[in-house]
Amino acid sequence: MRGVAVLAVLLFHAKESWFPNGYLGVDAFFVVSGFVVTPLINRIFFEKSKINLAANLLDFYRRRFYRLAPGLGVTLITSAVLIFLLGPVSDHERFAKQGLATLFLLGNIGAYRFSGGDYFAPNPNPLIHMWSLSAEEQIYLLLPLILVVFSLFLKSKDKQSLRYLLIAIGFVAYAADQALTNFPQILQSFGVTNVPQLMFYSPLSRLWEFCIGGVSYFLIQRAPESQSRARNVYGAVIAVSLIGILFLAVPSFRFESLVVCLLTAATLHLKVFHTFPIVASLCLRWLGDRSYSIYLVHMPLVYIAHFSPVLADFPTSLTTLVALALSTICGALSFRYVEERFRITSSGSLPVRYPMKFMIPSFLILPILLFSAMWFAAKAGYWQDDLSRHSVSSNAGAWSIDTQCQPENSVIPCRHLVNNAKGEALLIGDSHATAISQAFVDAMARKDYSSYIWTKSSCQPIRQMTMSPHQAKIIGYGAVSPKSSESCFSRNEAIWNWVSSHPKAVIFVSLRSSSAFPQSDLMAFRKLLIFNLLNLDKIAFKIVFVGPNPEFPEVPPRLVWEKPPPDPKSLPISRMVANPEWDNDYYSTELKNTKIDYIDVLQVFCSQDSCRRWDGSGWLYIDGSHLSLAGAEKLIPLLEASLKNLSQ
């Protein structure tokens, strides 16, 4: 079962669009983990050789440390060297933070904070997969303690009582998970903005999966060994259903995690994969035995295959296949020379004695020092000459201003209220709308308007999709991720509902230029956008479309030893990503005879022949297409002017 689960996760990270449900292999992993680790937890209470509960608990933690720490430490040290040499320098700081969070058993919190808050559309993070290991470790730490505390109040301390206790904890964890997910206002009252993703990474959402595996262990102890035709048929149906969900592009459905967990538990109970053809069974068992090491090493290698400048000239499909092959090989080597070397035997002894005074410096302190050094060095620009003088990326974006509410991840709009407001205004759109959000708030406040920000990367305000899936993928709708697409549709549905309930609000829309899209899909997107804006205009008091800003060519990612070339402060229009006037002419013409107002942004940044991203005092962009705070401030007069003729 572990072999099937790890294969699903590997394929998901390699090609998410082909295996969109592969991430559910992690849910299966937690069930298997509960199935395997529950007997070890059981020994805390029923170990005949010891009567000291505290000693048994410490022995459990010791065994878990020797089982997990060596493979993790070696992987992190190797990954640090690999990413330092081959990874884009722009990702080093994020990578180092994630590595440190993983070492302190907080990899799930690190993934939430350092990867854009969305597992299905993250910022490039070669250690994002460590979130599941941290969640599992947190369960290892807390669940035995909870069981020990409750056992103190039980009159009968037998295995049946422990089984019922595990069932009760699983039910409570599932109920709490569903309540917090379906009623996000509970956590929002504590300042949490992206409740669905926080719950995705939370150990609470994985505890009930672990408990399902634990209950399966107890059930299989009671079930008599039997083989019948009906049992084999049931097993085959369950196996086909589970494999179909994990490996086929089955549309997402409610309770999919619960269904996968129950199917996994049934598979374990019926020993389905034992009845597979001998070759398939042996291959899956071989893969399953090495699944922990393969899982650890695969994501850094896949990241290098996708993002390393060294491999930029090779087809991504080829480098990804090589990365998967290397993941299997390196995982097998790690299993043989690291996992097996440090594994504690059933008698409690090591094949070769490695005391804690060797383990902690080697697998904890050394990687902590490596990641700390990389973090501070990357933050300092690796001590290169004053990057702020020639690097666009030295500027902060608007999303770094409001620490209380991050509109990219919020399930409700971020609010910036003013006293005695004359009206209210909502800003929607993709990350380019987020880039102007602070200027929008300032402009609205000057006009005594309360402002609301509800933006999301790669999420255009499209509620009714008339494009083909291929065209939606080309324009980046939902970050080309099926899960992100669903999230985007849900966000837009919520925006439409908000507009309906705020009949006097002015709606501002800002998007990335569509001129960079392939010409075959350009007009389809433009028509779709206009169609949706006109539908929104039927229920909105007023819509103001902030035209897209000009888009400069992106600077290629560089390696750590490469000195960045100075970014050009202006470029001829002929050298821009696309002619910025195309979007401007199309939207201004199409909206001319409608009630939607259009703001021409090009007049701020472009002359007749060229466009600028430097104004003498600082950079107006933070990258090739997103405005900096200074650049967004240039739009304040235009935003203010759009409110002049409105009658409330």
Residue 312 inside a domain? The answer is yes
Q: How many angstroms separate the CA atoms of 83 and 66, rounded?
A: 26
Neighbours of 317 (CB within 10 A): 11
pLDDT digits (tens, 9 = 90+) for 468-492: 554 454 444 444 444 556 678 888 8
Q: How many angstroms separate the CA atoms of 392 and 262, rounded?
A: 51
Q: How many angstroms separate the CA atoms of 477 and 519, rounded?
A: 16
Pairing of strands 610-612, 570-572: antiparallel
Give DSSP secondary structure letters for 181-248: HH-THHHHTTT-S-HHHHHHH-THHHHHHHHHHHHHHHHHHHSPP---HHHHHHHHHHHHHHHHHHHS
Q: How many angstroms separate the CA atoms of 216 and 27, rounded?
A: 15
Residue found under tokens 């019948």: 228
What type of residue is 568?
P
Residue 385 inside a domain? The answer is no
Q: Are 607 and 412 in contact (CB under 8 A)?
A: no
The candidate with the shortest Cα–Cα distance to 410, out of 428, 394, 395, is 428
What type of residue is 603?
Q
CATH code: domain of residue 396 = 3.40.50.1110
Residue 362 per-residue DSSP state: I
Phi, psi values for residue 425, rounded to 5° = -140, 140
Task: State whether 371 and 483 are in the same domain.
Answer: no
Task: State whether 491 and 635 are in the same domain.
Answer: yes
Q: Are 567 and 389 in contact (CB under 8 A)?
A: no
Q: In this structure, which long-range contacts are made by residues 366-373, counting pairs with CB atoms below 8 Å and at least 24 apart in sequence? A: 366/73, 366/77, 367/73, 367/76, 367/77, 367/80, 367/99, 367/103, 368/100, 368/103, 370/76, 370/77, 370/80, 370/99, 371/76, 371/80, 371/96, 371/97, 371/99, 371/100, 371/103, 372/96, 372/100
Residue 560 per-residue DSSP state: T
Residue 47 inside a domain? The answer is yes
Residue 387 inside a domain? The answer is no
Phi, psi values for residue 232, rounded to 5° = -65, -35
Domain end among 378, 409, 443: 378
Residue 632's SS3 state is helix
Residue 11 inside a domain? The answer is yes
Residue 478: its pLDDT value, please? 44
User: Residue 498 burial (CB < 10 Å; 0-12/13-18/19+)?
Assistant: middle
Task: State whether 297 and 430 are in the same domain.
Answer: no
Task: State whether 368 and 409 are in the same domain.
Answer: no
Q: Residue 203 contacts by C-beta under 8 Å, 6 or more apart in sequence?
A: 108, 135, 136, 138, 139, 142
Q: How many angstroms separate the CA atoms of 115 and 121, rounded?
A: 8
Domain tally, the chain: 2
Residue 386 inside a domain? The answer is no
Pairing of strands 542-546, 506-510: parallel
Residue 189: its pLDDT value, please? 79
Residue 233: its pLDDT value, please? 78
Phi, psi values for residue 166, rounded to 5° = -65, -40
The widest CA-to-CA distance across the chain, in whole angstroms, is: 86
Residue 646 inside a domain? The answer is no
Q: How many angstroms separate the CA atoms of 334 and 340, rounded?
A: 9
Instruction: Show the domain range for 228.
Output: 2-378
pTM of the predicted structure, to 2 decimals: 0.77
The candidate with the shortest Cα–Cα distance to 207, out of 235, 173, 157, is 173
Task: State whether 467 and 549 are in the same domain.
Answer: yes
Task: State whether 369 and 484 are in the same domain.
Answer: no
Domain end among 378, 400, 420: 378
Residue 347: its pLDDT value, please? 59
**Up-side HSE of residue 167: CA atoms within 13 Å toward CB?**
11
Residue ranges of the chain with per-residue pLDDT less than 70 = 47-51, 116-118, 120-122, 154-159, 222-228, 274, 344-353, 383-410, 464-486, 515-521, 645, 647-648
Residue 467's SS3 state is coil
Task: State whether 53 and 186 are in the same domain.
Answer: yes
The candidate with the shortest Cα–Cα distance to 580, out of 616, 624, 617, is 624
Task: State whether 360 and 402 are in the same domain.
Answer: no
Residue 285 inside a domain? The answer is yes
Task: State whether 370 and 399 are in the same domain.
Answer: no
Q: Are 477 and 460 in contact (CB under 8 A)?
A: yes
Task: State whether 364 and 241 are in the same domain.
Answer: yes
Residue 177: its pLDDT value, please? 93
Task: State whether 465 and 396 are in the same domain.
Answer: yes
Q: Are 132 and 26 in contact (CB under 8 A)?
A: yes
Domain end among 356, 378, 400: 378
The candidate with the shortest Cα–Cα distance to 214, out of 264, 155, 272, 158, is 264
Q: Are 584 and 600 in contact (CB under 8 A)?
A: yes
Task: State whether 301 and 446 are in the same domain.
Answer: no
